């Protein structure tokens, strides 16, 4: 599958083009600029926009993000940069100042790699932008402002609000390359979410398998929003990360099929790691908990649920808790969320 580029790499390319245009290089839309990546390779970007405003003394450029075959919400987004000379005419030392503009979020909570009040442009992208701009060989300091025209709209499809990043998306990427269908970005978000929660002094982290489960737990228990971490399918990783970040206790909330997988000790519940075998799950429930399920073929885990006797769901919750304790070493409480979106069983 085809790899793509991070928002950080795109911002660096736009910033270099803007700096070059500011320094007199006659770039125009459709031209290409190349930038260095942290791994040492160089990559090329085609310019979407590029120009210079005589009125303000500002050069600008933008590129369209290509995330390759990765299902990224920012794929196709315009990443733009504006550049102006800073520091006055007498300053000869070349340096780069980076700011966030329209559509780039602002950090409002602790625990992230960027201080509160600053633009959500992570340290890795800041280094990439600086290195790329310095290649423009300007003899005066340059101030670069990164913007994403649809960033505020795109941010609604991310977890930025949960992390306390408001007003737009984050500029991310340590390598500059997006590997398709990689779980690295999801795991990084899990870790970042937990860091925010711990920085705010929260002792309980709620690991949810999906939005429905998360919302159900929120309605029932009304814990602070940063307590909630979308683990998705990364169960084992999330449990270990909660222990590493020294939380006091863990809540797990999931619907039936995911909860059985967790009780069965499945570290990654995504279908790519093996779709749940409903008949194997039924055997597990019979053998582990003595449930008198009918001997018949089952097509789905959901189909099994109608035959689970009273108290059976609680036993599965306890099984999920036992797995969570074994992996994390922390107190764990598991909650089943019904397919109607309600907490239907809790310890």
Q: pLDDT tens digits for 136-153?
A: 987 789 999 999 999 999
Closest CA to 229 of 162, 275, 180, 283: 162
pLDDT tens per residue across span 185-196:
788 889 999 999
pTM for the full model? 0.76
Compute the distance between CA of residue 55 and CA of residue 310 in angstroms, rounded to an integer: 75
Whether pLDDT at 275 is above 60: no
pLDDT tens per residue across span 11-59:
999 999 999 999 999 999 999 999 999 989 999 999 999 999 999 999 9
Tokens of 88: 């006055």
Q: Could you write out the three-class secondary structure of 119-170?
A: ECECHHHHHHHHHHHHCCCCCCCEEEEEECCCHHHHHCCCCHHHHCEECCEC
Compute the distance between CA of residue 48 and CA of residue 74 in angstroms, rounded to an integer: 16
- Rounded to an integer, the average pLDDT of 263-267 is 89
Q: Angle of helix 235-244 relative to helix 312-328, nearest 10 degrees?
A: 50
The answer to whether the CB of 177 falls within 8 A of the CB of 7 is no
Q: Going from the N-terminus, what domains does the chain have, and what CATH number goes with each?
A: 4-178 (3.30.2110.10), 184-346 (no CATH)
- pLDDT given for residue 347 in this prediction: 61
The answer to whether the CB of 47 falls within 8 A of the CB of 161 is no
- pLDDT given for residue 1 in this prediction: 65
Whether pLDDT at 274 is above 50: no
- pLDDT given for residue 88 in this prediction: 56
Compute the distance between CA of residue 321 and CA of residue 333 in angstroms, rounded to an integer: 6
The answer to whether the CB of 95 falls within 8 A of the CB of 143 is no
Across 46-60, 89-103, 193-207, least confident range: 89-103
- pLDDT given for residue 3 in this prediction: 87
pLDDT tens per residue across span 107-136:
999 888 899 999 999 999 999 999 999 999
Sequential DSSP letters for 236-285: HHHHHHHHHTT-SEEEEEE-HHHHHHHHTT-SB-SGGG----HHHHHHHH
């Amino acid at each position: 599958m085809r790899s793509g580029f991070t928002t950080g790499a795109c911002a660096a390319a736009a910033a270099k083009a803007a700096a070059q245009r500011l320094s007199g290089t006659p770039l125009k839309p459709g031209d290409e600029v190349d930038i260095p990546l942290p791994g040492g390779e160089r990559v090329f970007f085609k310019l979407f926009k590029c120009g210079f405003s005589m009125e303000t003394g500002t050069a600008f450029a933008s590129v369209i993000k290509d995330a390759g075959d990765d299902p990224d919400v920012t794929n196709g987004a315009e990443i733009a940069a504006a550049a102006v000379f800073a520091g006055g005419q007498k300053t000869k030392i070349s340096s780069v100042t980076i700011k966030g503009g329209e559509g780039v979020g602002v950090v409002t909570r602790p625990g992230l790699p960027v201080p509160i009040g600053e633009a959500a442009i992570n340290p890795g992208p800041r280094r990439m932008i600086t290195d790329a701009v310095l290649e423009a060989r300007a003899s005066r300091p340059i101030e670069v402002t990164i913007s994403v025209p649809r960033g505020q709209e795109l941010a609604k499809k991310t977890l930025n609000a949960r992390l306390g990043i408001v007003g737009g998306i984050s500029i991310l990427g340590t390598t500059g390359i997006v590997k398709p269908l990689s779980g690295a970005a999801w795991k990084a978000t899990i870790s970042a979410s937990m860091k925010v929660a711990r920085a705010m002094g929260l002792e309980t982290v709620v690991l949810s398998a999906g939005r429905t489960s998360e919302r159900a737990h929120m309605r029932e228990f009304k814990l602070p929003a940063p307590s909630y971490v979308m683990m998705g399918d990364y169960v084992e990783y999330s449990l270990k990360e909660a222990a590493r970040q020294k939380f006091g206790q863990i809540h797990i909330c999931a619907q039936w099929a995911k909860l059985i997988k967790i009780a069965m000790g499945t570290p990654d519940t995504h279908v790519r790691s093996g779709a749940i075998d409903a008949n194997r799950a039924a055997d597990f429930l019979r053998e582990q908990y003595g449930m008198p399920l009918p001997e018949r073929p089952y097509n789905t885990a959901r189909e099994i649920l109608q035959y689970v006797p009273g108290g059976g769901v609680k036993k599965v919750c306890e099984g999920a808790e036992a797995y969570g304790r074994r992996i994390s070493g922390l107190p764990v409480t598991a909650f089943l969320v019904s397919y109607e979106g309600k907490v239907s069983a809790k310890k």
